[in-house]
Structure 1
């Protein structure tokens, strides 16, 4: 008789079609069931090595802690920010989004903010969620393949994502119209007579990065504009925008406009253009995305696509409340409008 394993891995314990149990997790991790239980409840009395082995076993088995055996929930809403702390603390988008969440909660539930950018932060976040402390979970900035492990760690608590997921997890989400915003920005540049429009796209493993690039490509195709050599990538940060603009100028010195997928990258592009002796907007027009405070502080002030960050946070909390309260939810996806804000840079 051939044994069946959940992923076809012969090293996994035989389950015989049954759901994996805590005993299976402990056996695969090479620890006692008591140690496995301490890891799953977020106890600090576990070595890092044992915690890592248990976490790996949980992922390989697809283990979900039964809802009835979870620790007493504290009634909190956990906002998990899948970014390094330096990015979170330096980008006002996160503060504005969290303010919207808090405004909507209006004292009905405590808000706990978890950062899961580094490996140690990720382990601590997984441990907290597995401990059953959160009544609901908001995932912000989850990359491809991150939403699944975090949702499974929540073990039955409602989960809502900020941003369209790129994996196949059937989770509700709230997003902004990234594709439409980029499309409007490029159409504006084309209407101003720009014909060699480049873009500094965002990360390929994040929905916002994918959708903003798609909007740029749609506008280019609509206008019959070739994009050879006109697409570079950054990580939404200022330095990556500066470096990407340098690459664009090397590849296509005739570029006459650029859409950056974030205002921070647009500010980096301004620095690179200034260093190269290009005037903005006379020689090269620049459009950002977000309408962060920096868009009004730089000179020339940035034309940018405004996303409603506070409204996004408030809608996330509202959707989570609907799921937590067991009320029927009409849509799995909610997409908020963006708006092109025209200033001096384009």
Structure 2
């Protein structure tokens, strides 16, 4: 018995143009980034794409344009931190949303080991993506040198130490933010103020300590500073060390909410009341701050805006535009921990 397949014809750009009431050229420009298209026309094309079920032939378009129409989200940290640190997932979600609106693909790359560094460098050097969103950076990281050498367009989240002039960046004002957090503790009447820093080879680890020192001035005590790695466990270990050295400590500024949460746990086990005995302030306001008891005072980073600015800058550079850097403000969110 002979059978006849009942496949439905795939929609084309012509179908999308007809549904949107625009030219095929307008549809093509929307699909390839939305440049030189009015907001109304872009909205009409986006709706028509959904209605018709059209999707571009990525291979054909790549051959025609010399581009992959994809961007890498590059995290140079151990894999478990992608899930353990809420800031990374917020940035990942924001970047994915921004790129999906432009009909582009986000490729997740994690390079936390030397082997992963080599694999990622080879992948990027082969031209598999049009650009890179560099989400974390460590000073003297060889992967930074590889990125610069390959010439792949890159935008960094935070100022990469030693490479500030080599790529555009989107960052918060780390020093001003740290000064604001420290000033809040001083204005509460705290006098023995400690800090749990991030890694010294990261921009947040270095510049938040600078702001802390600047705000305290002559009252800065290096004995009240303990390093961490942004994780909750490191915050707990740092707080325990600070308490042992300075049992009269009455406030702590942690360079991340995760470390602040770890510090709170240690303080409570030590019988310290928060904030009556020790005030605690974190950094990020990524969602974790509200789960701590008491809820954390913290410096809020505008994660959605950071992701949006990074994607916009990167696509501008990919199109041949002049690179630039953006600095965004943070805001103090006062809760029960202070």
- TM-score, normalised on structure 1? 0.75
Q: Secondary structure at the match of 1:180?
A: helix
CA contact (8 A) 1:98 1:310 kept: no
Q: Secondary structure at the match of 1:85?
A: coil
Partner of 1:237: 231
Query: What are the within-5 Å matches in structure 2 for residues 174-213 of structure 1?
Result: 174-213=170-209
Distance 2:185 2:219 in 1: 12
Q: 1:185, CA displacement in angstroms?
A: 0.8
For the pair 1:158 / 2:153, whether they are aligned, the reply is: yes
Q: 1:102, CA displacement in angstroms?
A: 2.1
Q: 1:178, CA displacement in angstroms?
A: 1.6
CA contact (8 A) 1:101 1:313 kept: yes
Q: 1:73, CA displacement in angstroms?
A: 4.1
Q: Secondary structure at the match of 1:229?
A: helix
Q: Give 1 or 2 for the bigger CA radius of gyration.
A: 2
Partner of 2:138: 143
CA contact (8 A) 1:183 1:216 kept: yes
For the pair 1:335 / 2:327, whether they are aligned, the reply is: yes
CA contact (8 A) 2:134 2:155 kept: yes
Partner of 1:320: 314
For the pair 1:291 / 2:285, whether they are aligned, the reply is: yes
> Which residues of structure 1 form unaligned runs of 5+?
1-71
Q: Secondary structure at the match of 2:112?
A: coil
Distance 2:220 2:75 in 1: 37
Partner of 2:102: 107
| 1:26-61 residue CA offsets vs partner (Å, 9 max, x unmatched) | xxxxxxxxxxxxxxxxxxxxxxxxxxxxxxxxxxxx
| 1:104-155 residue CA offsets vs partner (Å, 9 max, x unmatched) | 22133211010001233222211211111111111111111225324136x2
CA RMSD of aligned residues (A): 1.4
Q: Secondary structure at the match of 1:218?
A: helix
**Aligned equivalent of 1:131, options 114, 120, 126:** 126
Q: 1:199, CA displacement in angstroms?
A: 0.2
Distance 2:160 2:258 in 1: 23
Partner of 2:210: 214
Distance 1:273 1:149 in 2: 42
CA contact (8 A) 2:86 2:288 kept: no
Distance 1:73 1:145 in 2: 30
Q: How many correspondences in the alignment?
A: 270
CA contact (8 A) 1:136 1:159 kept: yes
CA contact (8 A) 1:79 1:138 kept: yes
**Aligned equivalent of 2:295, options 301, 317, 323:** 301
CA contact (8 A) 2:283 2:298 kept: yes
| 1:171-192 residue CA offsets vs partner (Å, 9 max, x unmatched) | 1111112211111111011111
Distance 1:299 1:231 in 2: 24
Distance 2:69 2:179 in 1: 41
| 1:175-218 residue CA offsets vs partner (Å, 9 max, x unmatched) | 11221111111101111100110000000000111111111111
- TM-score, normalised on structure 2? 0.77
Partner of 1:118: 113
Distance 2:191 2:98 in 1: 44
